[in-house]
Structure 1
Amino acid sequence: MTEETENIVLRLLREIRETQRAHSERFDGIEQRMTTLERKMDDVNESVAMALGFSAHANVAYETTGQRIDRLTETVADLRARLEKLEEKA
């Protein structure tokens, strides 16, 4: 190889090395951003699961409360009917 050819090869190798270094820096930045994004998505998933859990719990509590109110209404109606019968006898 001639000296001129060696210089061209060395110059190209330096350019390749510089490009690889730049790419490595960009990949490191992208990796950090992806790690941050994964953490945020984990938080979102947890929040959604918690919200759905609270929603389901609220729905069950609402239905249970409604059933209890219905039973109390029936009990009050029965008590009124019994009271009316007692008042008629008196």
Structure 2
Amino acid sequence: MELASSNYIETIGFIAAFLTTAAFLPQVFKTWKTKDVSGLSFSMLLMFFVGVFLWLVYGYYKESPSMIMANTITLGSAFLLIYFKITYRKK
């Protein structure tokens, strides 16, 4: 029963991972297309990036494929937004 329960929980994790990661991607795409970063807070992006990195480390140590997958993709997305914030800022 423990294995079935573990697989069920990981399935829930993958669904949550898909939804939360997918929800973040439109912001990355919109920022890339419009090059408008005025609504993005640099400090929020940095805190988010560090938080997602720590979730990735946590997922690695918990051996949770859903956490590793979601946080790897979200870390890349957060990195892109930080890159856009630096690159597209008004000088």
| TM-score class normalised by the smaller sequence | 0.3 to 0.5
Higher helix residue share = 1
Structure having the higher Rg:
1
TM-score, normalised via structure 1 length: 0.36
TM-score, normalised via structure 2 length: 0.36
Q: Identify the structure with bigger relative contact order (alpha carbons < 8 Å, sequence gap 6+).
A: 2
